Structure 1
């Protein structure tokens, strides 16, 4: 499912493995064993997930190997950290549309896309508030 949403295959597999990780996460070797892949494949996947701030690398005193775990509130963080980008992206897309003076279809596509991102930018704070209210009343 994650690859269908655009995530590369190995980071998607690694992310799913980390959802089921025990307290303290997994080492790269443990992830490799769990997924049946090389340490190099895990290393690249973890690096990718770290750039998205979905995974944290943790060091433990006396242990030479780092451990990896899913970031707390990973989806919440990913969605809310991208919210300010939507408005900026809308501005860039509007400029692209404005430059398409001779192509009304391109201008319309750009206007529609920019309107969508402005909508997302405006709605994201409300969605976060709704989630926090629902989460507070959800049994754990």
Structure 2
């Protein structure tokens, strides 16, 4: 039994609490530079019982303008955190989450560490080599990105194992 089963044994959905949760997460993500409306849309999709929502659904649930929703879903689609599926026989689209959006985004962005590690090699030379003070700092940056890039693959493997075990419960 999970902690959420203990807190809400009847499975009753508290819409006010859901809304407050979405807003808290969105503000927290925004404090780290994530676009706030995109965070609100993402968390609304995370908390929806439906498999996907239209832009109109999102606008109504978030009391937001269509333009704000449009910009947010464009951001989230570009990040790989949501998918857009056309509704057959309509001009509308349904926005939905991939099976594991955070994992998908991390996998897509995982090569960023290799990219930065590769870029820092040129930086070391540009500042006069690793024997200089600046070169030592850039070399440490290179070592950090190389380390994190190699470790993140292991984390992804572990996450898949944890997720599989959790679903088996």
Same fold judged by TM-score > 0.5? yes
Richer in strand (by share)? 1
Runs of 4+ displaced beyond 6 Å: none
Aligned pairs for 1:62-77 within 5 A: 62-77=89-104
1:79-115 deviation digits (Å, cap 9, x = unpaired): 1222223112111022123201299443233222211
Richer in helix (by share)? 2
2:77 matched to which residue of 1? Answer: 50
SS in 1 for 2:29: coil
Under a length normalisation based on structure 1, what TM-score does the superposition of the two structures give? 0.88
2:19 matched to which residue of 1? Answer: none
1:38-84 deviation digits (Å, cap 9, x = unpaired): 00000000000000010111112233311111222111111122222
Q: 57-66 or 97-106, which moves further after superposition?
A: 97-106
2:41 matched to which residue of 1? Answer: 14
Unaligned runs of 5+ in 1: none
Unaligned runs of 5+ in 2: 1-27
Structure number with greater Rg is: 2
SS in 2 for 1:2: helix
Aligned pair count?
140
